[in-house]
Amino acid sequence: MRRRLTLFILFVTSATTFLLSDSSTWKDRTITKLAEGIFEIRHPDAPDGFPQSNTTVIIGDKTVFVVDSCLLPSTTRADVEQIRKWTNKPVTYLLNTHWHFDHTLGNSVYAAAFPDIQIIAQIQTQKTIADFNPGAVTRYPSRAQRFRKVLDSGKDPDGQPLTPGARKDYEEALSGLGPVVAEFKDAVQLVPNVAFDRELNIDLGKRLVQIRFIGRGNTAGDTIVYLPKERILITGDLVDHPVPYFFGGFPVDQVGTLQALAQFDAQEIVPGHGDVLHDKSYIAQMISFLQVVNTGVEKEINNGKTLEETQEELPKQIDSKAWRDKFAGNVAEDQSFFDQSFAGLVKASYNQIKAR
């Protein structure tokens, strides 16, 4: 819904970039069986509309491996209950694909349920979770004051007048904030206790899990998981569907990272948010779009243009509407999300290229 387009640019720090929502509303908990003993769980949004990550469960002959632990403790507990219905084997490994707390806040729930668990993250992700996420959880209730300020002023954070639809979305988010804050009172951001640099292989018993850091993109420590026998690729927020998270990050690096991602022999691709993908055409589309934007931004910089001038001129030069149609189709909320994502991408690309 629209509120997911306007309310969830939460954090900007020198070390990190935007933490954002998925592009379209999701209210259901769905399970997709990817192979025997391998499941993707797609979660409903939190009551205030904040997105919850996909979770992937991989069951081996000896033990269980989970990718991403979700946001709300109650949602994570439901996942643990579901895993126990599938198998009596313990969850020995939990991987956080990156630092965003809709992928990490459930860590403590898994640790309580499975005391011997090893929580894994890439080194940079481990550091950012430790440095940033506890404060982000503590600050979450202050969203109420920010939402009320927007509603009282009648203007969005950019100073633009609220449309009737946007006002309704802020009101709904504010009304749903209470249950989320109540859960967060007892939530503890458990920091991963196992860190790796580039790669890590884990044998679950007749099932090999390959963990890889192949480059920066959405964050500085994006991690992917690959199951070579089953040809399943789990991407975290390097890939989100139907509209990518291009709200910052490292767009120059992300081209090469996605190109490396596309080299994996995968027949099923689990994004950080959204439906399971069954081919690499969407990744190819993301790569093409990033290349076009980065090339256009570099040209503007070489011509002496400011960020503001680049943001004004580039949409016309690259026909951003055509790209919006490719990603968002005729879905109005996805179109609006694309426009905001594109604006963030131009800024991130400009800053990264300018800093060379």
What is the per-residue pLDDT across 301-342, written as a single tens digit (0 to 9) for each?
999 999 999 999 999 999 999 999 999 999 988 888 898 889
Q: What share of the chain is helix, strand, coil (3-state, %, to 5)?
A: 45, 15, 40
What percent of the chain lies above the pLDDT cut of 70? Answer: 93
Q: Above 50 in pLDDT, residue 53?
A: yes
> Which residue, 194, 177, 195, 197, is CA-closest to 185?
177
The pLDDT assigned to 26 comes to: 62
Higher pLDDT, 168 or 226: 226
Structure tokens at 14: 């020198």
Question: Which residue(s) pair with 117 in the sheet?
Answer: none
| CA–CA gap between residue 93 and residue 193 (Å, rounded) | 11
Q: What is the mean pLDDT of residues 223-230?
A: 99
179 near 94, Cβ under 8 Å? Answer: no
Tell the burial category of 186 from Cβ atoms under 10 Å away from its Cβ (0-12, 13-18, 19+): exposed
What percent of the chain lies above the pLDDT cut of 90? Answer: 81
The pLDDT assigned to 315 comes to: 97
Higher pLDDT, 185 or 19: 185
Q: What is the mean pLDDT of residues 110-139?
A: 97
The pLDDT assigned to 333 comes to: 82
Name residue, tokens 């190819």.
284
Query: For the segment 231-263, what is each residue's pLDDT rounded down to a tens digit?
Result: 999 999 999 999 998 888 999 999 999 999 999
Rounded alpha-carbon distances, angstroms, from residue 162 to 23, 149, 320: 20, 12, 24
Q: Above 80 in pLDDT, residue 13?
A: no
Q: What is the mean pLDDT of residues 179-199?
A: 96
CA-based Rg of the chain, rounded to a whole angstrom?
20
51 near 45, Cβ under 8 Å? Answer: yes
| CA–CA gap between residue 318 and residue 250 (Å, rounded) | 20
pTM of the model: 0.92
